[in-house]
Amino acid sequence: MPHSLWPSGSFVLILLCAGPALGQQEPSTEPGRLAGFTEQTSIGGSGDMPTLLVEDDEQEAALISPVLLEPWFGFKGRVNESIGLKFGVNYNTLFMGASSSLTENDNASGGVLEINGNWTLIGRGGPNTGVLGIRFESRHKYTDISPNQLGGEIGSLWKPDVLWATFDFTVSQLWWEQRFMSGKGAVRFGKLVKPSVIYDNFFLRVPQLIFENETMVFSATPYPSNGLGAVAVIFPIDNLYLQGGIHDANGSPTEAGFDTFFDVGEYFVAGEIGWVSSFDRRRKDNYHVTVWHTDERTAKGTPSGWGLTVALQRYFSDRVMPFLRYSYSSGGVTPIDHLVTGGLAYRVRGHHGFGIGLSWGSPSEADLRNQFGIESMYRFYITQTISVIPGLQVLFSPSQNPDENAIGVLSLRVRLSI
């Protein structure tokens, strides 16, 4: 890896050293929790901010088991108990290198800073809460290109990474969520997260922690970026949910978006129906169909189109999760018109585990060849707050690099969550 990548480690050291300065308060006494966060939303998948705040608060089976920042987590717990504010800070790094490239760029690396807050302002202590959500975020590169640009450099049909892009520090999410029906219904509106986090509910779609390539995160759907929109979900019975929403097709994490949403008026809409084994396991045992439509984006020069995804996943004994998905996209809206993904994840202990995912894609351009890929990863926790994820992807018959039969992509992700 280039030496220029390593100064980013200074940020990690600063955060690790900051905890003791907050005082010697007692941590939360909630069993299995660092700060006592428990409440989750019924909207979205595993990568949604409110869900990740709760997941990050779980005590892990780490290699270094003592909680190193107990005063910090105790402080977070008391803030939540006092005023209903859950918050957390994450810093995610990615180092990625390819065995071959069409250009001189065969490696990329970057960082993503996320400062998350969920403030329960209505109905605290009950199921029908009103929550204000906010995320401050910065994405930056350490090398000449960012990791989400590496796919184009190596001639791949899909990107080996989608999260690590570049934009300046900004308010990337600002929304209100109102829950009803004892938490089994919810409406969220405002500046929302990228819709890929909300629809096509896929438990392993968390690029910070599990699979990271474009086929696993986006399927074959032209999800717009963060922007103004509204989404609603309802569970009429414990085993069935309906979800739908409208989003700014020209959304941007760094723009307020009122002009593009109200004046330009080009939208991405989606609807989803799903069957789950129970409400509590809605993100683990999930069978669903997602249908979407996007308007023509005049400024970007992209056509209108529609598509769908059919997905099956089941978490057996809370240890093994096989999955299978098919996606279709019409009209050349995305580079892939037919996509099949499948694989499994296995939990070794705690949140330590590995995953293997297979992808086959048919390009929307008829003169390009089909591409097949494999992604494998293993996640382990060094401490309660630091996870490390080495990974390997192999791209067979890269569609836009006919001179190569296979390209390997090695990656290393490190995540600090406090």
Give the chain's domain count: 1
Say if CB 217 and CB 172 are below 8 A apart. Answer: no
Tell me the mean pLDDT in the region 353-367. 94
Residue 34 has pLDDT above 90, yes or no: no
* CATH code for position 308: 2.40.160.10
* pLDDT (0 to 100) of residue 2: 38
For residue 214, give the nearest of 68, 409, 64, 42 by alpha carbon.
Answer: 409
Q: Going by C-beta distance under 8 Å and a sequence separation of 6 or more, which residues neighbour residue 332?
A: 303, 305, 364, 365
Q: Which residue has the higher pLDDT, 174 or 163?
A: 174
Instruction: Look at 20-29, 99-108, 313-322 and tell me which has the smallest mean pLDDT.
Output: 20-29
Domain containing residue 398: 3-417
Segment 264-293 mean pLDDT:
94
Q: pLDDT tens digits for 225-249?
A: 999 999 999 999 999 999 999 999 9
Distance separating alpha carbons of residues 274 and 60, to the nearest angstrom: 30
Q: What pLDDT score was predicted for residue 31? A: 52
What's at 22, amino acid-wise? L
Closest to 410 in 3D by CA, of 395, 392, 394, 396 = 392
pLDDT at 132: 96
pLDDT tens for each residue of 368-407: 999 999 999 999 999 888 999 999 999 999 999 999 999 9
Cα dist. 254→178, 226, 316, 330, 418 in Å?
Answer: 25, 9, 41, 29, 24
Q: Whole-number mean pLDDT of the chain?
A: 88
